Amino acid sequence: MTMNWNAVVSEEDTVFVLGDFVMRPTVEKLRVASRLNGKKILIPGNHDNCWRGHEAHELWRQRYLDAGFTAIVDKVDMYFDDFDLKLSLSHFPFDDDKPGWERFDNWRSVDDGQWLLHGHIHSRRRVSGRQIHVGCDAWNWAPVSLDRILELIVE
């Protein structure tokens, strides 16, 4: 993963990581963040100990920052005037078709008719309606570029 990531991300790039950075995080596992290029902004997922759904999330937030994340935020909205486009970034998709995943319903973004970039599903599926799965498991274990995302939307 590190080689694939660093092949497409420069030190000057900003990368939004939409959660589940490492499964069952430990301080040692988090150290991989320091080997990845770019300014990394984490939107925590349910597998990140710094996700607000975990009791000790505040303690873990500092550990993620110490490991190499620039910031930790819960959600981001981006506006692109050239395309009259709003993109929401969140760990969770609007909905999920897997049994038992409704337990995260109160963490999901409201479908306001705009596009959503998300992680969470751990699959190779990339596009579903107005949702784009940007998890590295769907993109050759590397971040997907904003240019590629805009190509998918504007097509």
- Which tens digit of pLDDT belongs to each residue from 104-120? 767 777 778 899 999 98
| Per-residue confidence band for 83, with pLDDT thresholds at 50, 70 and 90 | confident
- Residue 97 has a pLDDT of 59
pLDDT reading at 96 higher than 80:
no
**42 or 95, which is more confident:** 42
**130 or 154, which is more confident:** 130
What's the predicted TM-score (pTM) here?
Answer: 0.89
Q: Which of 18-22, 102-106, 120-124 has the lowest mean pLDDT?
A: 102-106
Domain limits, the chain: 2-154
Print the SS3 string covering the chain: CHHHHHHHCCCCCEEEECCCCCCCCCHHHHHHHHHCCCEEEECCCCCCCCCCCCCCHHHHHHHHHHHCEEEECCCEEEEEHHHCEEEEECCCCCCCCCCCHHHHHHHCCCCCCCEEEECCCCCCCCEECCEEECCHHHCCCCCCCHHHHHHHHHC
For 97, phi and psi rounded to 5 degrees?
-100, 10
CATH number of 2-154: 3.60.21.10
pLDDT reading at 26 higher than 90:
no
